[in-house]
Amino acid sequence: EADIYQTPRYLVIGTGKKITLECSQTMGHDKMYWYQQDPGMELHLIHYSYGVNSTEKGDLSSESTVSRIRTEHFPLTLESARPSHTSQYLCASRADRAYGYTFGSGTRLTVV
């Protein structure tokens, strides 16, 4: 069973809508990450957090924003969705003394 949960799994929305992708983990991990994955397979880091009230932008510029008010919750928000935001979004977390990430199942977003 998953210890990191992403909702929704699939989302189709119209251009200009505001959306929030949810990510929650029950492992007490301080470090959490958001990746964007295009059909070309590569994983692109768009946001990360090392703890409550800590958020940083990743390597790939993104119009999304994140917040970290609680350790277990790391939501990603798009204020005005566009077709270029169509992608798979993966959330991950990591324990302090381990290098490996635990990934959620992802949210596949389609903006029409």
Partner 1 sequence: GQQLNQSPQSMFIQEGEDVSMNCTSSSIFNTWLWYKQDPGEGPVLLIALYKAGELTSNGRLTAQFGITRKDSFLNISASIPSDVGIYFCAGPPIWETSGSRLTFGEGTQLTVNP
CB of 46 to partner 1, least distance (A): 12
DSSP state of 96: T
**Residues 67-106, mask of contacts with partner 1 (x by CB under 8 A):** -----------------------xxx-x----xxxxxxxx
Task: Give whichever of 13 and 95 is closer to partner 1, judged by the CB atom.
Answer: 95
**Residues 5-44, mask of contacts with partner 1 (x by CB under 8 A):** -x------------------------x-x-------xxx-
CB of 59 to partner 1, least distance (A): 5
Q: How far apart are CA 5 and CA 7, in angstroms?
A: 7
Show the CA angle centred on residue 69, arms to residues 64 and 72, nearest 5°. 95
Backbone angles phi, psi at 91, to 5 degrees: -105, 145
Please give the C-alpha separations between residue 103 and each of 6, 18, 33, 106, in angstroms, as whole numbers: 9, 24, 9, 8
Residue ranges that bind partner 1, judged by CB under 8 A: 6, 31, 33, 41-43, 45, 48, 50, 59, 90-92, 94, 99-106, 108
